[in-house]
Amino acid sequence: MLTVGEGSPGRLARLAEIRDIRMSLKYVGGKQEVLTLSPVNIVEITGESWLMKTLVLGATGATGRLVAADLLARGGEVRAIVRSADRLPQDLLDHPNLTVIEGSVLDLPEKELRDALEGCKAVISCLGHNLTLKGMFGSPRRLVADSVSRICSAIQTESSAGITKVILMNSTGCKDTDAKETPSVFDRIVVGLIRLLVPPHADNEAAARFLRSSVGKQDHRVKWVIVRPDGLINEPGVSDYCTVPSPTRSPIFNSGKSSRVNVARFMDELASSEEVWAEWVGRSPVLYNRD
Protein backbone atom coordinates (compact mmCIF):
# COMPACT_ATOMS: atom_id res chain seq x y z
CA MET A 1 0.00 0.00 0.00
CA LEU A 2 1.31 3.47 -0.87
CA THR A 3 -0.09 6.23 1.28
CA VAL A 4 -0.08 9.78 0.00
CA GLY A 5 1.16 12.00 2.78
CA GLU A 6 -1.07 14.55 4.48
CA GLY A 7 -0.13 18.11 3.57
CA SER A 8 1.61 16.97 0.40
CA PRO A 9 -1.25 15.90 -1.85
CA GLY A 10 -0.22 13.98 -4.90
CA ARG A 11 3.06 12.88 -3.35
CA LEU A 12 3.67 9.23 -2.78
CA ALA A 13 5.11 8.92 0.69
CA ARG A 14 5.39 5.35 1.87
CA LEU A 15 5.66 1.92 0.36
CA ALA A 16 4.33 -0.95 2.43
CA GLU A 17 3.50 -3.60 -0.11
CA ILE A 18 3.93 -4.31 -3.80
CA ARG A 19 2.04 -7.12 -5.39
CA ASP A 20 3.25 -7.94 -8.84
CA ILE A 21 3.25 -4.54 -10.57
CA ARG A 22 -0.18 -3.43 -9.41
CA MET A 23 -0.15 -1.04 -6.52
CA SER A 24 -2.91 0.10 -4.29
CA LEU A 25 -2.79 3.82 -3.58
CA LYS A 26 -4.55 5.08 -0.48
CA TYR A 27 -4.99 8.79 -0.08
CA VAL A 28 -5.21 10.26 3.38
CA GLY A 29 -8.91 10.87 3.71
CA GLY A 30 -9.87 7.33 2.77
CA LYS A 31 -10.06 7.34 -1.03
CA GLN A 32 -8.33 4.34 -2.54
CA GLU A 33 -7.48 3.43 -6.10
CA VAL A 34 -5.38 0.91 -7.96
CA LEU A 35 -2.78 2.00 -10.48
CA THR A 36 -0.65 -0.09 -12.78
CA LEU A 37 2.97 0.91 -12.60
CA SER A 38 5.99 -0.47 -14.38
CA PRO A 39 8.97 -1.67 -12.33
CA VAL A 40 10.92 1.36 -13.45
CA ASN A 41 8.15 3.66 -12.12
CA ILE A 42 8.30 1.84 -8.82
CA VAL A 43 12.05 2.30 -8.57
CA GLU A 44 11.72 5.99 -9.46
CA ILE A 45 8.88 6.64 -7.03
CA THR A 46 10.03 4.61 -4.10
CA GLY A 47 13.77 4.72 -4.56
CA GLU A 48 13.77 1.05 -3.65
CA SER A 49 15.49 -1.54 -5.77
CA TRP A 50 12.43 -3.58 -6.52
CA LEU A 51 13.50 -5.47 -9.59
CA MET A 52 11.46 -7.78 -11.74
CA LYS A 53 13.51 -10.85 -12.57
CA THR A 54 13.28 -12.36 -16.05
CA LEU A 55 15.07 -15.39 -17.43
CA VAL A 56 16.10 -14.84 -21.07
CA LEU A 57 17.01 -17.73 -23.36
CA GLY A 58 18.96 -16.89 -26.51
CA ALA A 59 20.31 -13.62 -25.07
CA THR A 60 23.37 -13.81 -27.34
CA GLY A 61 21.12 -13.76 -30.42
CA ALA A 62 20.07 -10.78 -32.51
CA THR A 63 16.71 -10.39 -30.74
CA GLY A 64 17.60 -11.89 -27.36
CA ARG A 65 20.29 -9.26 -26.68
CA LEU A 66 17.74 -6.51 -27.38
CA VAL A 67 15.28 -8.16 -25.00
CA ALA A 68 17.90 -8.29 -22.25
CA ALA A 69 19.06 -4.71 -22.87
CA ASP A 70 15.49 -3.36 -22.81
CA LEU A 71 14.58 -5.20 -19.60
CA LEU A 72 17.74 -3.91 -17.90
CA ALA A 73 17.05 -0.36 -19.12
CA ARG A 74 13.58 -0.58 -17.56
CA GLY A 75 15.11 -1.32 -14.19
CA GLY A 76 14.65 -5.09 -14.29
CA GLU A 77 17.00 -7.91 -13.40
CA VAL A 78 17.94 -10.39 -16.12
CA ARG A 79 19.28 -13.91 -15.91
CA ALA A 80 20.60 -15.24 -19.17
CA ILE A 81 21.40 -18.85 -19.97
CA VAL A 82 23.92 -18.71 -22.84
CA ARG A 83 26.30 -21.15 -24.42
CA SER A 84 29.16 -18.67 -24.23
CA ALA A 85 29.25 -15.39 -22.30
CA ASP A 86 31.82 -14.12 -24.82
CA ARG A 87 29.01 -13.74 -27.34
CA LEU A 88 27.23 -11.16 -25.20
CA PRO A 89 27.85 -7.47 -25.94
CA GLN A 90 30.18 -5.79 -23.43
CA ASP A 91 27.57 -3.30 -22.20
CA LEU A 92 25.31 -6.18 -21.21
CA LEU A 93 28.15 -8.08 -19.58
CA ASP A 94 29.07 -4.99 -17.57
CA HIS A 95 25.51 -4.43 -16.32
CA PRO A 96 25.21 -5.09 -12.57
CA ASN A 97 21.69 -6.52 -12.92
CA LEU A 98 22.63 -9.19 -15.45
CA THR A 99 23.48 -12.68 -14.24
CA VAL A 100 24.97 -15.00 -16.84
CA ILE A 101 24.64 -18.76 -16.55
CA GLU A 102 26.85 -20.56 -19.05
CA GLY A 103 25.39 -23.70 -20.56
CA SER A 104 22.46 -24.87 -22.63
CA VAL A 105 18.95 -25.26 -21.23
CA LEU A 106 18.98 -28.75 -22.72
CA ASP A 107 22.03 -29.87 -20.71
CA LEU A 108 21.88 -27.79 -17.55
CA PRO A 109 21.55 -29.92 -14.38
CA GLU A 110 18.02 -29.79 -12.94
CA LYS A 111 19.18 -27.95 -9.82
CA GLU A 112 20.94 -25.22 -11.83
CA LEU A 113 17.90 -24.77 -14.02
CA ARG A 114 15.65 -24.38 -10.98
CA ASP A 115 18.13 -21.93 -9.42
CA ALA A 116 18.08 -19.91 -12.64
CA LEU A 117 14.28 -19.79 -12.50
CA GLU A 118 14.12 -18.91 -8.83
CA GLY A 119 12.22 -15.65 -8.33
CA CYS A 120 11.69 -15.08 -12.07
CA LYS A 121 8.25 -13.84 -13.01
CA ALA A 122 8.83 -14.47 -16.70
CA VAL A 123 10.91 -16.51 -19.12
CA ILE A 124 11.47 -15.11 -22.61
CA SER A 125 12.78 -17.49 -25.26
CA CYS A 126 14.47 -16.01 -28.32
CA LEU A 127 16.18 -19.29 -29.15
CA GLY A 128 16.63 -20.17 -32.78
CA HIS A 129 18.83 -22.41 -34.86
CA ASN A 130 21.97 -20.81 -36.22
CA LEU A 131 21.63 -20.34 -39.98
CA THR A 132 24.55 -22.64 -40.81
CA LEU A 133 24.36 -26.19 -42.17
CA LYS A 134 25.20 -27.56 -38.72
CA GLY A 135 22.77 -25.22 -36.97
CA MET A 136 19.91 -26.07 -39.30
CA PHE A 137 20.44 -29.77 -39.96
CA GLY A 138 22.60 -30.97 -37.06
CA SER A 139 21.50 -31.68 -33.51
CA PRO A 140 19.70 -30.56 -31.47
CA ARG A 141 16.89 -30.70 -34.02
CA ARG A 142 14.37 -29.80 -31.30
CA LEU A 143 16.36 -27.01 -29.67
CA VAL A 144 13.41 -24.67 -29.13
CA ALA A 145 10.69 -27.24 -28.38
CA ASP A 146 12.81 -29.25 -25.93
CA SER A 147 14.14 -26.11 -24.22
CA VAL A 148 10.62 -24.75 -23.71
CA SER A 149 9.44 -28.15 -22.52
CA ARG A 150 12.28 -28.37 -20.00
CA ILE A 151 11.66 -24.87 -18.71
CA CYS A 152 7.96 -25.58 -18.27
CA SER A 153 8.61 -28.85 -16.39
CA ALA A 154 11.06 -27.06 -14.09
CA ILE A 155 8.45 -24.38 -13.36
CA GLN A 156 5.73 -26.96 -12.80
CA THR A 157 7.80 -29.02 -10.38
CA GLU A 158 8.81 -26.01 -8.31
CA SER A 159 6.91 -26.11 -5.03
CA SER A 160 6.47 -22.38 -4.44
CA ALA A 161 3.13 -20.98 -5.52
CA GLY A 162 2.75 -18.43 -8.30
CA ILE A 163 2.50 -18.15 -12.03
CA THR A 164 5.47 -17.84 -14.37
CA LYS A 165 4.93 -16.24 -17.75
CA VAL A 166 6.54 -18.09 -20.65
CA ILE A 167 6.96 -15.89 -23.73
CA LEU A 168 8.07 -17.69 -26.86
CA MET A 169 9.47 -16.00 -29.95
CA ASN A 170 7.98 -17.94 -32.84
CA SER A 171 7.02 -17.07 -36.44
CA THR A 172 4.06 -16.18 -38.65
CA GLY A 173 4.90 -19.32 -40.65
CA CYS A 174 3.55 -21.28 -37.66
CA LYS A 175 -0.23 -21.38 -37.79
CA ASP A 176 -2.21 -20.76 -34.61
CA THR A 177 -4.31 -23.90 -34.49
CA ASP A 178 -6.43 -22.47 -31.65
CA ALA A 179 -7.39 -19.45 -33.75
CA LYS A 180 -8.61 -21.60 -36.65
CA GLU A 181 -6.47 -19.72 -39.14
CA THR A 182 -7.01 -20.67 -42.76
CA PRO A 183 -3.93 -19.90 -44.87
CA SER A 184 -4.33 -20.14 -48.65
CA VAL A 185 -3.67 -23.44 -50.44
CA PHE A 186 -0.41 -22.02 -51.84
CA ASP A 187 0.75 -20.97 -48.38
CA ARG A 188 -0.07 -24.40 -47.00
CA ILE A 189 1.82 -26.18 -49.78
CA VAL A 190 4.95 -24.06 -49.32
CA VAL A 191 4.83 -24.23 -45.51
CA GLY A 192 4.38 -28.03 -45.79
CA LEU A 193 7.52 -28.22 -47.92
CA ILE A 194 9.43 -25.99 -45.51
CA ARG A 195 8.30 -28.23 -42.64
CA LEU A 196 9.72 -31.27 -44.43
CA LEU A 197 12.93 -29.66 -45.64
CA VAL A 198 13.86 -27.09 -42.97
CA PRO A 199 14.11 -28.65 -39.49
CA PRO A 200 14.11 -25.30 -37.60
CA HIS A 201 10.62 -24.58 -38.89
CA ALA A 202 9.34 -27.93 -37.61
CA ASP A 203 11.04 -27.15 -34.29
CA ASN A 204 9.28 -23.77 -34.02
CA GLU A 205 5.96 -25.47 -34.78
CA ALA A 206 6.64 -28.16 -32.16
CA ALA A 207 7.49 -25.53 -29.53
CA ALA A 208 4.21 -23.68 -30.16
CA ARG A 209 2.28 -26.96 -30.21
CA PHE A 210 3.83 -27.92 -26.88
CA LEU A 211 2.60 -24.73 -25.21
CA ARG A 212 -0.87 -24.87 -26.79
CA SER A 213 -1.53 -28.59 -26.33
CA SER A 214 0.71 -30.00 -23.61
CA VAL A 215 0.67 -27.02 -21.26
CA GLY A 216 -2.68 -25.68 -22.41
CA LYS A 217 -4.55 -22.80 -20.84
CA GLN A 218 -5.51 -24.35 -17.52
CA ASP A 219 -2.06 -24.91 -16.06
CA HIS A 220 -1.75 -23.35 -12.61
CA ARG A 221 1.94 -22.55 -12.88
CA VAL A 222 2.73 -21.80 -16.52
CA LYS A 223 0.91 -19.20 -18.59
CA TRP A 224 2.20 -18.43 -22.06
CA VAL A 225 2.16 -16.12 -25.06
CA ILE A 226 3.54 -17.15 -28.45
CA VAL A 227 4.83 -14.06 -30.25
CA ARG A 228 4.86 -14.31 -34.03
CA PRO A 229 6.98 -11.77 -35.91
CA ASP A 230 6.89 -11.72 -39.71
CA GLY A 231 10.10 -11.02 -41.69
CA LEU A 232 12.68 -9.92 -39.13
CA ILE A 233 14.70 -6.79 -39.85
CA ASN A 234 17.13 -4.72 -37.81
CA GLU A 235 16.32 -1.13 -36.95
CA PRO A 236 18.14 1.11 -34.49
CA GLY A 237 15.20 1.99 -32.26
CA VAL A 238 11.64 1.09 -31.37
CA SER A 239 9.16 2.33 -33.98
CA ASP A 240 5.41 2.20 -34.34
CA TYR A 241 4.14 -1.39 -34.50
CA CYS A 242 0.86 -3.25 -34.24
CA THR A 243 -0.05 -6.58 -32.71
CA VAL A 244 -2.92 -8.59 -34.17
CA PRO A 245 -4.33 -12.04 -33.32
CA SER A 246 -3.57 -13.61 -36.74
CA PRO A 247 -1.54 -12.80 -39.86
CA THR A 248 -3.16 -10.18 -42.07
CA ARG A 249 -0.89 -11.02 -45.01
CA SER A 250 0.72 -14.13 -46.44
CA PRO A 251 3.93 -14.93 -44.55
CA ILE A 252 5.24 -16.60 -47.71
CA PHE A 253 4.16 -14.48 -50.67
CA ASN A 254 3.60 -11.06 -49.12
CA SER A 255 5.40 -10.99 -45.82
CA GLY A 256 5.54 -7.84 -43.73
CA LYS A 257 8.35 -6.46 -41.62
CA SER A 258 8.91 -6.89 -37.92
CA SER A 259 11.94 -5.16 -36.53
CA ARG A 260 13.73 -7.10 -33.84
CA VAL A 261 13.78 -4.12 -31.52
CA ASN A 262 9.97 -3.91 -31.73
CA VAL A 263 9.65 -7.64 -31.10
CA ALA A 264 11.93 -7.26 -28.08
CA ARG A 265 9.91 -4.33 -26.76
CA PHE A 266 6.63 -6.23 -27.14
CA MET A 267 7.98 -9.32 -25.36
CA ASP A 268 9.31 -7.13 -22.56
CA GLU A 269 5.93 -5.41 -22.30
CA LEU A 270 4.32 -8.83 -21.97
CA ALA A 271 6.71 -9.65 -19.16
CA SER A 272 6.32 -6.41 -17.26
CA SER A 273 2.86 -5.00 -18.02
CA GLU A 274 -0.14 -6.82 -16.61
CA GLU A 275 -2.38 -4.95 -19.04
CA VAL A 276 -0.51 -6.14 -22.13
CA TRP A 277 -0.24 -9.63 -20.64
CA ALA A 278 -3.98 -9.84 -19.93
CA GLU A 279 -4.73 -9.01 -23.55
CA TRP A 280 -2.58 -11.79 -25.02
CA VAL A 281 -2.19 -14.59 -22.46
CA GLY A 282 -2.86 -18.00 -24.05
CA ARG A 283 -2.76 -16.45 -27.54
CA SER A 284 -0.30 -16.07 -30.43
CA PRO A 285 -0.11 -12.42 -31.48
CA VAL A 286 1.47 -11.41 -34.77
CA LEU A 287 3.63 -8.29 -34.75
CA TYR A 288 4.07 -6.01 -37.78
CA ASN A 289 5.91 -2.75 -38.10
CA ARG A 290 3.64 0.09 -39.16
CA ASP A 291 5.42 1.51 -42.20
Contact pick of 75, 229, 247, 285 for ligand NAP (by CB under 6 A): 229
Instruction: Confirm or reject binding of residue 143 to ligand NAP (CB under 6 A).
Output: yes
Report the residue number, 141 or 221, with the smaller CB distance to ligand NAP: 141
Contact pick of 38, 149, 164, 171 for ligand NAP (by CB under 6 A): 171
Instruction: Confirm or reject binding of residue 64 to ligand NAP (CB under 6 A).
Output: yes
Instruction: Confirm or reject binding of residue 169 to ligand NAP (CB under 6 A).
Output: yes
How many residues at the interface with ligand NAP, by CB under 6 A?
A: 26
For residues 21 to 50, the per-residue mask of contacts with ligand NAP, x marking binding by CB under 6 A and - elsewhere, is ------------------------------
Residue nearest to ligand NAP (CB): 61
Contact pick of 32, 36, 49, 130 for ligand NAP (by CB under 6 A): 130
Instruction: Confirm or reject binding of residue 62 to ligand NAP (CB under 6 A).
Output: yes
- CA separation for the pair 81, 38 (Å, rounded): 25
* Minimum CB–partner distance for residue 154 and ligand NAP (Å): 16
Instruction: Confirm or reject binding of residue 249 to ligand NAP (CB under 6 A).
Output: no
Instruction: Confirm or reject binding of residue 250 to ligand NAP (CB under 6 A).
Output: no
Instruction: Confirm or reject binding of residue 63 to ligand NAP (CB under 6 A).
Output: yes
Report the residue number, 84 or 177, with the smaller CB distance to ligand NAP: 84
